[in-house]
Structure 1
Amino acid sequence: MKLSRPLVLLAVGAVVALALLAGIAYIFKLPPFREKGEIKAGEVCSSLGSSSNAVDALTKVLPEESSYSFDENIDLRTDVTDTNFESSCFVAGGGKQLLVAKARLMEDESATSWTQWVKGTASNEVSIQSLTPFTAGDTAVSSSRFAAVFVPCTSAGKAPGGQYNLSVSTELKQEGNTNDAAARDELIKLAKNAASYAHVKAKCDMAPNLGGTS
């Protein structure tokens, strides 16, 4: 069956338009031609723990960007009587903040009280929706955008005020391509690895009860 001239021109025009769009996408590295940046072990924040484990988890959970950058701040605990320890890791890419991981030494408190407090440290309400517990530390909660663990650190009598714990959290600011269950698993891995690092650097004397890190 012969196509009329207008239909032929329309079909040719559609093909040309698609080719132009594909060319533009390729030139400007838009999907599906965007080059995925490599997360290098030497650039990852030390406060995320084992660099190989951190790279693996970050690669799975972060959205695809052409490059990634890491910014870190650590306030080390000087001795066992010091009650200050904090660390933070900020991961950015594509002009956006992608993930934040934080650790802080604080006085021990009930699971309910800590959970309410740690919710307030999240920057996005989406992060703390559907929080469910997981097994780690004294208590731990997570969602597909947030994971936090309260880890025993300094026993009563070693520092002023009684027992101190480490509150460690990871928050995914920009959703990646991973499904919710997988994203939750990777954030838990990052939180547990960051907690393991913080436990050593904060000169803790109590078992962290992390059940192993991956």
Structure 2
Amino acid sequence: MVVLTLAAGLLYAYKLLPFTEKGEIEAGEVCSSLGPSSSVVNALKKVLPEESSYSFDENARLRVDVTDTTYESSCFVSGGGKQLLVMEARMMEDEPAESWTQWVKGTAANETSTKSVTPFTAGEKAVASSRFAAIFVPCTSVGKAPGGQYNLSVSTELKQAGNVGDAAMRDELIKLTRTASSHTHAKAKCDMKSQIND
């Protein structure tokens, strides 16, 4: 046994076996749309699989003033040649919680991510599973919408999971989505109470 361990150590040291070095998630590289990087990095380390490196790609269409009803942002996290996680946020007209839930579940790339979603308390409505979390957050009142209210729909889908259990994975996705929702609420110039942490 000692000989095997020593041999494996030597092979690793001389890079003769395909050992993968674990990549670091650098705070400065994390998408700003996910929110403050220190808390986000900790959550990402827990939910993402180990890869030799990670990359972040961010897109945004920002709201220019209080009369504007357009806000969209997305963050794509990749590693090992695969897409690992996607966060998306968009401003949309307020709608009943049930129809929003059906709509947001349809935005997931993999429908199995959303099969076992259950509610949690945040915003006007929030649902999560071990692979998906979403919050419908009050944002602003603008005359065009019925009743004048626009909300933010913020969702996080984990496409490749790490090694923690389903319950822990769900908890960390909820934390990530709460943080992204809070950041998005401020970035989108929302003037209504977010109810994210109520």
- SS of 1:65 mapped into structure 2: coil
- Is the 1:83–1:159 Cα contact (8 Å) retained in structure 2? no
State, as a whole percentage, how many aligned pairs show the same letter: 70
- Map 1:200-211 to 2 at 5 A: 200-211=186-197
Shift, 1:175, TM fit: 1.5
Instruction: State the Cα deviation string for residues 53-84 of structure 1 (Å, max 9, x = none).
Output: 11010011100001100000011001111110
Q: 45, 57, 60: which is aligned to 1:71? A: 57
Contact 2:11/2:17 (8 A) holds in 1? no
Question: 1:25 offset after TM fit, Å?
Answer: 11
The within-5 A match list for 1:7-156 is 23=11, 27=15, 30=18, 33-155=19-141
Distance 1:136 1:199 in 2: 13
Alpha-carbon spacing, 1:29–1:51, altered in 2? closer, same or farther (3 Å): farther
Which amino acid in structure 1 is aligned with residue 130 of structure 2?
S
What displacement does 1:27 show? 2.9
Question: Judging changes above 3 Å, is the alpha-carbon distance between structure 1 residues 64 and 159 closer, same or farther for their aligned structure 2 residues?
Answer: farther
Pairing 1:169–2:155 present: yes
Partners of 2:52 and 2:153 in 1: CA distance: 32
Shift of 1:98: 0.3
Q: Per-residue deviation at 1:160?
A: 1.8
User: Aligned partners of 1:204, 1:122: CA distance in 2, in Å?
Assistant: 25
* Alignment coverage as a number of residue pairs: 193
Q: 1:46 to 1:159 in 2, by over 3 A?
A: farther
Larger Rg: 1
After superposition, the Cα gap between the structure-2 partners of 1:139 and 1:38, relative to the gap in structure 1 and judged at 3 Å, is: same
The one-letter code matched in structure 2 to 1:160 is: K
Q: Return closer, same or farther for 1:29/1:192 CA change in 2, 3 Å cut-off.
A: farther
Q: 1:178 aligns with which of 164, 172, 177?
A: 164
Q: What residue identity is the alignment partner of 2:15?
A: I
Partner Cα separation in structure 2 for residue 134 and residue 27 of structure 1: 47
Task: After TM superposition, give the deviation of residue 36 of structure 1 in Å.
Answer: 1.1
TM-score by length of 1: 0.84
For residue 194 of structure 1, what is the aligned residue in structure 2?
Answer: 180
